[in-house]
Amino acid sequence: MKNILFIGLGHMGSSLVKGILSNENFKDNIFGHDAFKELQDKVVNSLDKMNALDSLDEIETKGIEVIVIGTRPDAVDGLCESLDKLDLKGKTIVSMANAVDIKRLESNFKNQKDLTIIRMMPNMNASLNQSVTALAHNNANKDKLKFVVDMFESCGIVEIIDEDKFGTLTAISGCLPSYVFTFFKAITDYAIEKGFEKDQAFRIVETAIIGSIKNGANSQVELREMVEQVCVPNGSTVEGQNVLDNEGFENIIKRCLQSAENKATPSK
């Protein structure tokens, strides 16, 4: 049985812990630590199977083996420097800090030997066990990598990718809930403005969106061809689709994703 520490218990960190602990087959111990004690207490007290770690010095005394860093990117260097004062031999560091690459993480651990560093990017759907969690590593031990993969599969699917794809992955997965919420909001707001009750509008649009995505993902037909199949000449669908096409909807989405990717890519 391993002891895992999550440092940083904001929305993403707490969502991951909630998703992991919802898996009845997960038997390892999870500790939580946050620089803001009130937030730490709130999260720890809300989850029966979670333990508090009040000081980073307890990493050694509690036998922590895996440390998941979920702090803001601008706090990562200072945190790593503090951790570097401890004996971390044989431990695994997993960082979800945006735009902080493995090379930068390694540079902060000057006093450590036999330290495994894994970079990750989840999304906020982890608490619903619907996250996409990407992992990148530099020659991580097979068993240590498998443990991390198995742990985060409690939150959804896990994809191991090359680190140079992390910026794109962040845009199409880590950031994506925000863009989907915006799309969802526009359609449900329209329905409510036209007289639908909120619950009914949400139910209808949720089902239509999920069904359409599954249909497109499982079809052997190209997506644009599927659009054309739905757009019956002189029908309602094609009238709306013409607005999307004329306004450059696909290009707007791609520009959105490129902007997010640029921000998620470490500067050279």
Task: Tell me the pLDDT tens digit for each residue of 139-167.
Answer: 899 999 999 999 999 999 999 999 999 99
Burial class (CB in 10 A: 0-12, 13-18, 19+), 28: middle
Mean per-residue pLDDT of the chain: 96
Q: What sign does the CA torsion over 217, 218, 221, 227 have? A: negative
Same domain for 140 and 98: yes
Q: How far apart are CA 194 and CA 244, in angstroms?
A: 21
- Report the SS3 class of residue 171: helix
Tell me: do 135 and 18 sit in the same domain. Answer: yes
In the chain, the number of structural domains is 2
Question: CB neighbours of 149 closer than 8 A, spacing ≥ 6?
Answer: 135, 158, 160
Q: Measured in whole angstroms, how far is the alpha carbon of residue 155 from the centre of its chain?
A: 9
How far, in Å, CA of 12 to CA of 101, rounded?
Answer: 18
pLDDT of residue 207: 98
Are both 8 and 45 inside the same structural domain?
yes
What pLDDT does residue 139 have? 85
User: What are the φ and ψ backbone dihedral angles of 92, each rounded to 5 degrees?
Assistant: -115, 125
Separation of alpha carbons 95 and 92, rounded Å: 10
90 and 207 both lie in a single domain: no
pLDDT range class, residue 268, cuts 50, 70, 90: low
Worst-scoring range by mean pLDDT, 6-10, 123-127, 187-191, 218-222? 123-127
State the binding site for NADP(+): 7-12
List, as residue ranges, the binding site.
7-12
SS3 of residue 9 by DSSP: coil
- The confidence band for 255, taking pLDDT boundaries of 50, 70 and 90, is very high
Residues 123 and 207 occupy one common structural domain: no
Pull the structure tokens for residue 14: 């707490």
Q: What's residue 266's pLDDT?
A: 84
Domain of 184 in residue numbering reads as 176-264
Q: Are residues 154 and 107 in the same domain?
A: yes
Closest Cα partner for 155 from 185, 195, 127?
A: 127
Contacting residues for 253 by C-beta, under 8 A, at least 6 apart: 179
Could you tell me the CATH number of the domain that includes residue 51? Answer: 3.40.50.720
Q: What is the DSSP letter of 71?
A: S
- 147 with 210, same domain: the answer is no
Residue indicated by tokens 């111990």: 29
Q: Percentage of the chain with pLDDT > 90?
A: 96
97 and 11 together in one domain: yes
Coil, helix or strand at residue 175: coil
Dist. CA 262–CA 166, nearest whole Å: 11
User: 47-75, pLDDT tens digit by residue?
Assistant: 989 999 999 999 999 999 999 999 999 99
CA distance 69 to 6: 6
Let me know whether 183 and 160 are in one domain. no
